[in-house]
Amino acid sequence: MRNATSVSFLTLCFTVLCFLAKAAEPVVVEGLITPRDNEGMYLRNPDGQFEIEWTDKTQVALEVNTRLFKGLKDGELHYRVHSSREVIRFTLPKGSVTGIVKVRSKGQLKKKLKEAREESWIGEYGLRIHFGESLPQQMATPDDLRFIGLWDPTTKPRTLTINGEKFECSLKKGGQTSALLFNVVGTKDCRPFVNRARVVGQRKGELILAEEIHLKPIGDQAALDNPKLPRYLFIGDSISGNYDRGLRTALAGKFNLHHPPTNCGSSSSGAKNVVGWLGAYDQPGRHWDVISFNHGHWDSKNDKASYQRNLEKIIAELKKTKAKLIWVTTCPVPNGFPLAGDLDKDGRAPGRTARVMQKFLNPWALEVMKKYPEISICDQWQFVKDNEDALFKEFWSGKDVHFRGNPADKLGEFLGRHVLQMTKQP
């Protein structure tokens, strides 16, 4: 009897522990903010919609690229939304500015401490900046990997002063390029549709209770739209930034043009972020009539199966919008690069090499697109090839995959003509 009671008690304890573990599970989610009826918000990403609540202890930070530090002017941060002309101004609290630089590991700490002694350099790894909040200063230790000191964004290079000693705090290869600015924004700034967010918190049942919210404004480009014109979203990497002006010129007065507030990068990035890029397309005035998309240059070391799987995920989300879809073939890697070899032993393409798009990435993508005859193909690769001896002669002989000046504008005009023909506009 005692054994049975003992077993029952242990079973009960185990059940309770499992319940408690489920009741408060650490979690990190990110996505587009959408509205919730009561206090809090939803985050929407390809995995679904997550219900978020906050308390008076929840810390909110503005996430910025460190390049935006040059926008610090007279107690204001001028935050320019990526791929947009929109500039958002944030007032910075007065008082001390505490910087926290956290290294990734104890091995990294040893290296940074050595560099700090020899070169007065720490490096930005996980930079957190607290405005108007003084925190105890410290050098990092193996038990606490944080350097904490007074941060000065006005110096060149920027410095972190720890107990009177100044250390350079500059980006190095492999370092983080983003920073979290605390006490600049609050939960009231977690507005839907115009912000993405990362939430660090505890999952309790169907809810996530936020400990930290990292806010990333994406702008409200819909507010600037002409409601009489259709809406066009073009998704792509830095090449889409090259032809941005030509495309906008070609479609001026005929479309409201939008680009996700980022370099869209690889197909894996697209699969992860496409839901956020599409935004709340089910809301009035935020729909999409046309979407063009491309991922290729960042996938030049990818394998066929992974690349095609990512494209399938992206297409599945794009089709939900009911927009007319255009796949834009990936532009060439010029002849100044080494010639593409064969796939490696793991089936990966040979990287950014001449003809890698012709041999691998574009054929892989077109295999996927053939399954969706409703997706139109804009063959920018062929356009660049057809004009190899004229418009793009300098490009083909060079060592840069990017386009500038008139060639870049013509690339955008080529896509613009395709959009007009597909939508049967003059």
pLDDT of 8 > 70? The answer is no
- Pair 289, 311 in one domain: yes
Asked if residue 339 and residue 228 are part of one domain, the reply reads: yes
Instruction: Tell me the residue range of the domain where 373 lies.
Output: 221-422
- Check whether residue 214 and residue 232 sit in a common domain: no
pLDDT, one tens digit per residue, over 74-96 is: 788 988 887 677 888 999 998 88
DSSP per-residue codes, 352-418: S-BTHIIIIIHHHHHHHHTT-TTSEEE-HHHHHHHTTTTTTHHHHTSS-----HHHHHHHHHHHHHH
Average pLDDT value for residue range 232-243: 95
Same domain? For 232 and 333 the reply is yes
Residue with tokens 């001028």: 78
For residues 307 and 226, membership in a common domain is answered with yes
User: pLDDT tens across 177-211, in order?
Assistant: 788 999 999 999 999 888 999 999 999 888 999 99
Mean pLDDT of 37-46: 84
The domain that holds 271 is classified in CATH as 3.40.50.1110
Q: For residue 229, give both structure tokens.
A: 């014109």
What is the arithmetic mean of pLDDT over 123-139? 87
For residue 54 the two structure tokens come to 């906050």
What pLDDT shows up at residue 11?
58
Percentage of the chain exceeding pLDDT 90:
63
pLDDT value of residue 2: 47
- Is the pLDDT at 347 greater than 90, yes or no? yes
Please report the pLDDT score of residue 18 as a whole number.
53
Alpha helices in 200-343 (DSSP H): 238-242, 244-250, 267-278, 304-319
**Does residue 71 sit in the same domain as residue 53?**
yes
The residue out of 171, 196, 218 marking a domain boundary is: 218
Residue 17 domain-assigned?
no
pLDDT score for 45? 86
2 lies in a domain? no
Top-ranked range on mean pLDDT: pick from 67-71, 117-121, 360-364: 360-364
Tell me which amino acid residue 405 is: G
| Predicted TM-score of the model (pTM) | 0.73
Residue (of 226, 221, 273) closest to 83 by Cα position: 221
Mean pLDDT of 25-35: 89
Pair 159, 51 in one domain: no
If residue 114 lies in a helix (H) or strand (E), which one and from where to where? helix 106-119
Is 254 within the bounds of a domain? yes
Among 175-184, 211-220, 253-262, which is the least confidently predicted range?
Answer: 175-184
Q: Does pLDDT of 418 surpass 50?
A: yes
What's the whole-number mean pLDDT along residues 408-422?
Answer: 97
Question: Total domain count for the chain?
Answer: 3
Q: Is residue 140 assigned to a domain?
A: yes
Give the CATH number, domain containing residue 84. Answer: 2.40.50
In a domain, 5, yes or no: no
Tally of CB atoms within 10 A around 299: 28
Nearest-angstrom CA–CA distance, 153 and 160: 9
Contact (CB, 8 A) for 54 and 214: no
Instruction: State mean pLDDT over 47-57.
Output: 91
Last residue of a domain, one of 218, 243, 264: 218
Angstrom distance (rounded) from CA 167 to CA 169: 6
Rounded distance, CA 235 to CA 242, Å?
Answer: 13
> Are residues 43 and 176 both part of a single domain?
no
Q: Are residues 284 and 368 in the same domain?
A: yes
What tokens were used for 246?
């030509």
Q: Which of 18-27, 123-132, 390-399 has the lowest mean pLDDT?
A: 18-27
> Mean pLDDT in the chain?
89
In sequence order, the β-bridge partners of residue 97 are: 131
In this structure, is residue 3 part of a structural domain?
no
Q: Decide if pLDDT at 1 tops 50.
A: no
Q: For position 21, what pLDDT does the model report?
A: 47
Residue 98, CB half-sphere, CA atoms under 13 Å: how many?
A: 15
**Quick one: 214 exposed, middle or buried, by C-beta within 10 A (0-12, 13-18, 19+)?**
buried
Answer whether the bond into residue 157 is a cis peptide, omega within 30°.
yes
Sign of the alpha-carbon dihedral angle for 256, 260, 262, 267:
negative
Rounded average pLDDT over 109-119: 76
Q: What is the pLDDT of residue 3?
A: 54
Residues 120 and 269 in one domain: no
Predicted pLDDT at 12: 57
Q: Is the pLDDT of residue 124 over 80?
A: no
Query: Are 121 and 202 part of one and the same domain?
Result: no
Verify that 147 and 260 share a domain, yes or no.
no
Mean pLDDT of 360-388: 98
Residue 1: inside a domain:
no
Domain edge (last residue) among 192, 218, 244:
218
* pLDDT the model gives residue 289: 97
In a domain, 9, yes or no: no
CB-based burial, 167-205: b 16+ in 10 Å, e otherwise: bbbebeeeebeebbbbbbbebeebebebbbbbbbbebee
Q: How confident is the model at residue 224 (pLDDT cuts 50, 70, 90)?
A: confident
